[in-house]
């Protein structure tokens, strides 16, 4: 092999090795090797929209609230009321929170990787890294995220961190409770047994059994985000 050809070949190899990881970084799907992937199934046929889960969520997670200005009230979980546009249609109460997408747009757009998908599928925010640019709030199709508009003094639950002015917050499936072997507070607080939380990879879990019934749907499945909050009777 001539010296020139050798150099050429070396150059091609170097260029290819530089391009390959770069292209894989831009690729959307990422497979995790974790044996756990958490998901939530919400049985809308049982939900009457009492809103106890929303209240419990607000207290348990120190969600930033502003009683005097409704527009900057933050929500990790909210009850939406949905009905068709025809007269006399039934109004369905639907609890909405972060859908914990596998292909989360908020994680894609975050310039500092403050938003991330944990190995067990929970989408989280590192509030000590978030710069407060709010690009994730623009990108999220579920309006799951809220910005903390002002400094909040008190906190209702000392077990989880306080809110921080200037960063974005959202539902994290009550990650501190999960990590200590408990259920998310919305699941626990519901007296009608609307919500089931568990490991989607475990074939024996309640969530897998409900999902395998084939009757579940997710919100905006057309966006292909791999949301992990499923609804029965949507």
Partner 1 sequence: MKIYWTTINGKSLGMYFLLGVLAILAAAGLYATYAMFSQGHYITGMNNQIPWGLPIVVAIYCIGLSAGSLVLSALSAVFGQKEFKPFARIAVFVAALFLVGSLLSIVLDWGRPDRVMLPFLYLNPRSIFSWNGFLYSSYIFICIVYLWAMFTGRDGWIKPMGILAVCWAVGVHSGTGAIFGFINARELYHSPLASPTFVVAALSSGTALMILIIVSTFKATGRFLDNRLITGLAKLLGSFIMVVLYFVIVEYIVRLYTPSTCEPTRFVLFGGNLYTYIFWVGLILLGSIVPAIILFNPITKNSIPWISFASLLVVIGVFCERLIFVLPGQIFPLNLFPDMEMTSSFMDGQITWYQVSLPEIAQGLGILSIVAILYIIGLKLFALLPTEARHLEHEL
Contact code string over 103-142 relative to partner 1, x by CB under 8 A:
--x--xxxxxxx--------------xxxxxxx-xxxxxx
Count of residues near partner 1 by CB under 8 A:
56
- Distance between CA atoms of 150 and 72, rounded to whole angstroms? 9
CB of 97 to partner 1, least distance (A): 11
For 25-52, give one letter per residue: b (16+ CB within 10 A) or e: eeeeeeeeeeebbbbbbbbbeebebeee
Q: Kindly tell me which residue out of 10, 11, 166, 193 binds partner 1, with binding defined by CB under 8 A.
A: 166
User: Minimal CA–CA distance to 96: which of 113, 79, 71?
Assistant: 79
Site for partner 1 in 29-88 (CB under 8 A): 66, 69-75, 78-85
Containing 57, the helix (H) or strand (E) segment is helix 52-60
CB of 172 to partner 1, least distance (A): 17
Q: Which is nearer to partner 1, 108 or 182 (CB)?
A: 108
Per CB under 8 A, 143 contacts partner 1: yes
Residue 202 near residue 120, CB atoms below 8 Å: no
Q: Is 121 left (phi over 0), alpha (psi -120 to 50) or beta?
A: left
CB of 11 to partner 1, least distance (A): 22
Residue 48 near residue 93, CB atoms below 8 Å: yes
Q: Which is nearer to partner 1, 113 or 191 (CB)?
A: 113
CB of 227 to partner 1, least distance (A): 12
| Positions in the binding site for partner 1 (CB under 8 A) | 22, 25-26, 66, 69-75, 78-85, 96, 105, 108-114, 129-135, 137-143, 145-151, 165-168, 219-220, 223
């Amino acid at each position: 092999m001539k010296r020139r050809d050798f150099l050429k070949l070396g150059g091609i190899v170097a260029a290819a090795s530089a391009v390959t990881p770069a292209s894989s970084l831009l690729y959307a799907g990422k497979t995790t090797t974790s044996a756990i992937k958490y998901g939530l199934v919400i049985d809308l046929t049982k939900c009457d929209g009492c809103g106890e889960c929303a209240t419990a969520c607000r207290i348990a997670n120190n969600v930033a609230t502003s009683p005097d200005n409704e527009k900057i009230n933050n929500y990790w979980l909210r009850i939406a009321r949905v009905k068709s546009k025809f007269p006399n249609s039934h109004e369905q109460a639907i609890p909405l929170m972060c859908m914990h997408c596998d292909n989360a747009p908020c994680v894609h757009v975050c310039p500092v990787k403050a938003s991330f998908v944990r190995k067990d599928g929970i989408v989280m925010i590192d509030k000590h890294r978030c710069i407060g640019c709010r690009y994730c709030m623009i990108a999220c199709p579920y309006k799951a995220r809220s910005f903390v508009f002002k400094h909040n003094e008190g906190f209702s639950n000392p077990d989880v961190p306080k809110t921080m002015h200037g960063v974005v917050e959202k539902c994290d499936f009550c990650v501190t409770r999960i990590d200590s072997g408990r259920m998310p507070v919305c699941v626990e607080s519901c007296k009608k047994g609307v919500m089931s939380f568990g490991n989607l990879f475990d074939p024996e879990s309640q969530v897998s059994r409900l999902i395998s019934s084939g009757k579940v749907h997710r919100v905006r499945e057309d966006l292909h985000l791999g949301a992990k909050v499923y609804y029965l009777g949507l």
